[in-house]
Amino acid sequence: MGWLSRLVNGWWRQQGPQGDDTPEPEPVVMIVAPPEPDNLVELNPPGGRIHRIHPATMALVEEMSSYAEFVEVMQRHLHNVCNETQDAAENILGQALDVEGSVSDLVRHVSTTMQSDQFVEAAETLQISVDAGRGIISDLIHQHHTTQREIRDSISTMHMLSDKMKSHLREIEDIRRYTDLLAINARIRIAGLGSNTGLEVIAEEIRELSSNTGALAQNLRSELGEMDRLISEDLLARVTGQELADEARARDLQDSFESLSNHMSMLSRMQEELLTEVHLRGEAVRDPLNTLCGSIQFQDVARQQLEQVGRALNMISDHFVALSNAIIHDDAPPDSSIATCLSNILENYVMEQQRAAHVGGASAAAPRIELF
């Protein structure tokens, strides 16, 4: 009760005499207060009244005045966490949509390319060219067999004509020998008998033999002419015609395979373009995926800020526990304060946006992926 006695005594001195007509006050019994404790402070409020407040209570008042700032800082941190989470979620959604769009464009491009009229026409033309090449090769083989058979038939005919010529030559040889015998007999007759011995008959026989020999020679020339015609016209014409036909079919085959080569080149070019487009689409997908991976870091950012809020709340809780103990046990206020806690929190931040949220300002431009 020492502080109450001093409060009453001070109030009495403050009232003082009110003028000459005021009667003298009666003697007042003064209660001597015990020595004032060291943990009392004196304030001068308006009106000149003196109040004595416990230092722990005063410290509590000062701390409570700083509590609003603490709550505001914590709210800014939580607001920053919400904004960071919202921005990251929107970014992830946008990047996912970009990836989906790129993949859809790639699939659509591949489908359009594989089903395009140009691709289908090239495939059909390629099949037609292959079938035409096979048909030409089959015709060449068949024509080759036919030509060989005709050549063999022509050779057989030539052999038959040759055999006929040999037969005629044997007949001519027989006629020649017979004519020689007649000539010998005629000379013998003429030498032994003289004139009128029938040499006219021998001469007639010789003329007949000569006529037969001429006929045989004519037949031989005719056969030889037929052989020449067969060789020069028929056989050579067949060979020449076959050569021309083979050349024409070879050209057709060459053109067919040239077309096949062109279409194969076109297919190869289309495949190369398709691979190039796939590569470009892959590069287009890679950037959104990298950004997506960077956006996922918002979990660490939010986690650290929430952990910081948790540590700050624990720090303030410990501080108020210590302050309460000081009030209860009539001890001196604790050395720590909310201002000191806020200062320690500010020093322990690891990200620029945490410091900016603490002081209530805007953070500097930073990359989406922040190393800390």
My answer on whether 90 and 102 are in the same domain is yes
My answer on whether 96 and 78 are in the same domain is yes
pLDDT in tens, 347-356: 877 777 778 8
Q: pLDDT at position 285, please? A: 77
CATH number at residue 247: 1.10.287.1700
Q: Which residue has the higher pLDDT, 277 or 60?
A: 277
Mean pLDDT computed over 104-115: 73
Q: pLDDT at position 203, please? A: 65
Please check whether residue 372 lies inside any domain of the structure. Answer: no
Residue pointed to by tokens 């006629």: 175
Range of the domain at 39: 1-53
Please check whether residue 26 lies inside any domain of the structure. Answer: yes
43 pLDDT exceeds 80?
no
Please check whether residue 292 lies inside any domain of the structure. Answer: no
50 pLDDT exceeds 60?
no
Nearest to 169 by CA among 231, 217, 222: 217
Please check whether residue 197 lies inside any domain of the structure. Answer: yes
Calpha distance 40→42 (Å, rounded): 7
Give the model's confidence band at 65: pLDDT under 50 very low, under 70 low, under 90 confident, else very high. low
My answer on whether 143 and 256 are in the same domain is yes
Percent of the chain with pLDDT over 90: 0
My answer on whether 179 and 205 are in the same domain is yes
Q: Which residue has the higher pLDDT, 327 or 340?
A: 340
Lowest mean pLDDT across 18-27, 52-61, 102-111, 297-306: 18-27
Calpha distance 313→69 (Å, rounded): 13
My answer on whether 67 and 93 are in the same domain is yes
Q: What is the pTM of this model?
A: 0.42
Lowest mean pLDDT across 105-119, 123-137, 357-371: 357-371
Q: pLDDT at position 145, please? A: 75
My answer on whether 47 and 66 are in the same domain is no
215 pLDDT exceeds 50?
yes
Nearest to 218 by CA among 370, 279, 226: 226
Mean pLDDT computed over 301-313: 76
My answer on whether 36 and 80 are in the same domain is no
Please check whether residue 370 lies inside any domain of the structure. Answer: no
For the chain, the average pLDDT equals 70
Nearest to 329 by CA among 321, 337, 318, 317: 321
Lowest mean pLDDT across 36-40, 212-216, 308-312: 36-40
Residues 6+ apart with CB under 8 A from 99: 285, 288, 289, 292
Please check whether residue 314 lies inside any domain of the structure. Answer: yes
My answer on whether 179 and 279 are in the same domain is yes
Q: pLDDT at position 318, please? A: 78
My answer on whether 72 and 36 are in the same domain is no
Q: pLDDT at position 23, please? A: 52
Q: pLDDT at position 325, please? A: 76
84 pLDDT exceeds 60?
yes
As for how many domains the chain has, the answer is: 3
Q: In the listed set 286, 319, 351, which residue is the last one of a domain according to the structure? A: 286
281 pLDDT exceeds 70?
yes
Give the model's confidence band at 212: pLDDT under 50 very low, under 70 low, under 90 confident, else very high. confident
Give the model's confidence band at 40: pLDDT under 50 very low, under 70 low, under 90 confident, else very high. very low
In angstroms, the Cα distances linking 275 to 110, 120, 268 are 10, 18, 10
363 pLDDT exceeds 70?
no
My answer on whether 193 and 261 are in the same domain is yes
Please check whether residue 367 lies inside any domain of the structure. Answer: no
My answer on whether 174 and 267 are in the same domain is yes
Contact 288, 102 (CB under 8 A): yes
48 pLDDT exceeds 70?
no
Q: Which residue has the higher pLDDT, 219 or 297?
A: 219
My answer on whether 269 and 173 are in the same domain is yes
Please check whether residue 12 lies inside any domain of the structure. Answer: yes
